[in-house]
Structure 1
């Protein structure tokens, strides 16, 4: 799908210049993000804090208003997220009534394979109980797996004044940090996000969570920095087109308004493309879009692969060098391909090493069996 006007033409870069066509370069193969087991994100919090709503809105395109009819989670729900070839992970949605302090709870198996723990706190409710549970959960999880990334979503901030939002964040941050300090865990880093399913804040927050699970993130950011500095671009995002999570961005600060514009642009591209395609996602190697805003700003989207898109923001006068931008984009996409080819080779070598020297103390339990066992033992 291509959006064009009379002044700017997308996808008209002369192919006879020898720069190559915008082909896939092998990036469409699933699992480019890694052959290793998928990172696990645990979604935790008290009942009715909004955990399931977050999951449905971000990863299943549910309308925020539809989440009002969701029933309270009564068992662990495991959701495989396979939208992006670069990042494939699992989200485990935990019911609020699970007691992680129970000695019969298999914390080693739950937290041992965890990449990030997202704890959701309802900003409109009394969060004393939530902070107590958060402290106990973090202490238990960190003891099992010190590498876990701990994220706090201060949720349901829609309708709250900016001053109240900041006051809640400061209060929760201070109290959570003090609780961990009293427990002798000053070394734990906590990240806090103000979120709502009624705006783009929840997508931006989950972008930050997912980025921490990408080993190649520094390389991707460096490639984006090089790309924009040589192309006259002010800001660039590498988006997962299905969830609208941005996998990486350049080093300049993220402005929420710019992020929302890019998200809206992706929605336009996907919605218009789906009109002319019977496939579940019509995003392909021909997908591109150009939108000129009334403030002399250009939004420019190019397909990286069928899962990822590069969305750029630049001044109108800088788009006169579209040929340079398109050529630099080809170099950028080729570099991404090479990064992940090296990653896959490294993972294959690691797999061979593990097969030659297996660890005796590794317990291999099917994740579905683990979830079923926890649900049976702790949620009756």
Structure 2
């Protein structure tokens, strides 16, 4: 049994509130919660996670990689007891943004589904605004049929259990593994739901690709490889993996050539410098184009080689896009108490590929 009263818990709260949203990680022991956190946010290789010890207390992790990706992750031990008098449900779930429940798909998940039902029910009664996410984890090395059958069965059982309890709660399901990019894609979806400016960012990206001949665009947090926004076109997993690989290459090269040793000594976790960009031509006449947005955000675009002829138009439109992103940051930093985060931005001056760029 794990007691909630850790020595440092009270330091997290000032006057009963915290400044960052929380993502809570729940699941049975050895389901892979800590491995997910280490791989996504601390660049630990999947093989290294084999040596992680089982979590026996609540572990908090502040994520401060970018101005948009700022939150706390709380990793809960699998044996947590909701009926323990030291478990303060109001404080745990009261300001929670998202709850991620990890289920080991390669294990008997009946007990996990029971725990999922208890966790969701407890959290929903305290805070019905929580986003509930279920990671059907460790699906690497199994057949596609097994993945689909596991997802269907878990989805059906979990939904039926909640309906039997008289609760109308939406659960989102993701097939994940730390040995491929599926865990990054799944966490991207979780983080996006915590960004109130998401409609504005998506609108900016839609305008950019429409006026630039771009097929797909992602706005990445380069440290974690989470994409905090993309355009309205469906996300193809292979395309997303290519973009992630490109970011890895750019970061590695920037770490060698982009900063002086003095700059490296004073800047922690700087992904790349202010002028970072990259262009990769694939053998299928497709181009990957990366442009720095700010110190921690990058725009990665996919387009056909014939549409890259007017690079000047694309670069000009990117400058307008970056200006729009800057306005989002400025408005957010003012902490305006407005419920409408879809602010009007100066995107109408973007030019199309048919216009002359001076």
Which TM bucket (shorter chain)?
A: 0.7 to 0.9
Q: Give the structure, 1 or 2, with the largest relative contact order (CA under 8 Å, sep 6 or more).
A: 1
Secondary structure in 1 matching 2:212: coil
Dislocated runs of 4+, deviation >4 Å: none
5+ unaligned residues in a row in structure 1: which ranges? Answer: 1-35, 351-380
Is the CA contact 1:270–1:281 (under 8 Å) kept in the aligned structure 2?
no
Q: Which residue of 2 aligns with 1:70?
A: 52
Partner SS state of residue 221, structure 1: helix
Q: Which residue of 2 aligns with 1:59?
A: 41
- Show the counterpart of 1:360: none
Cross-structure match for 2:154: 172
SS in 2 for 1:137: helix
Note the alpha carbon deviations across 1:271-313, whole angstroms, 9 max, x for none.
0111123324350211000000000000000000010000000
Helix, strand or coil at the partner of 2:61: strand
2:23 to 31, 41, 48: 41
- For 2:282, the equivalent position in structure 1 comes to 293
Distance 1:138 1:269 in 2: 40
1:245 equivalent in alignment to 2:234: no
Tell me if the contact between 1:39 and 1:115 (Cα under 8 Å) persists in the aligned partners: yes
Give the Cα–Cα distance (whole angstroms) in 2 for the partners of residues 129 and 45 of structure 1.
10
**C-alpha separation between the residues in 2 aligned to 1:197 and 1:343?**
33
Output one character per residue of 1:310-341: Cα deviation in whole Å (capped at 9) or x when no partner: 00000000000100000000000101111232
Q: What is the CA deviation profile of residues 138-181 of structure 1, one whole-angstrom value per residue up to 9, with x for unaligned ones?
A: 00000000000000000000011000000000000000000000
Query: What CA distance in whole angstroms lies between the structure 2 residues aligned with 1:208 and 1:256?
Result: 13
Count of residue correspondences: 313
User: Which of the numbers 314, 329, 343 marks the counterpart of 2:332?
Assistant: 343
Equivalent of 1:256, from 237, 241, 258? 237
Secondary structure at 1:126 match in 2: coil
In 2, distance between residues paired with 1:313 and 1:349?
37
In 2: Cα distance, 1:271 partner to 1:138 partner: 41
Correspondence for 1:143: 125
Q: Does 1:195 align with 2:176?
A: yes
Structure 2 residue 296 is matched with structure 1 residue 314: no
- Structure 1 vs Structure 2 CA RMSD: 1.2
Q: Please report the TM-score for the alignment, with normalisation by the length of structure 1.
A: 0.81
Q: Distance in 1 between matches of 2:195 and 2:210?
A: 23
2:217 alignment partner in structure 1? 236
TM-score, length-scaled by structure 2: 0.86
Q: 1:110 to 1:260 in 2, by over 3 A?
A: same
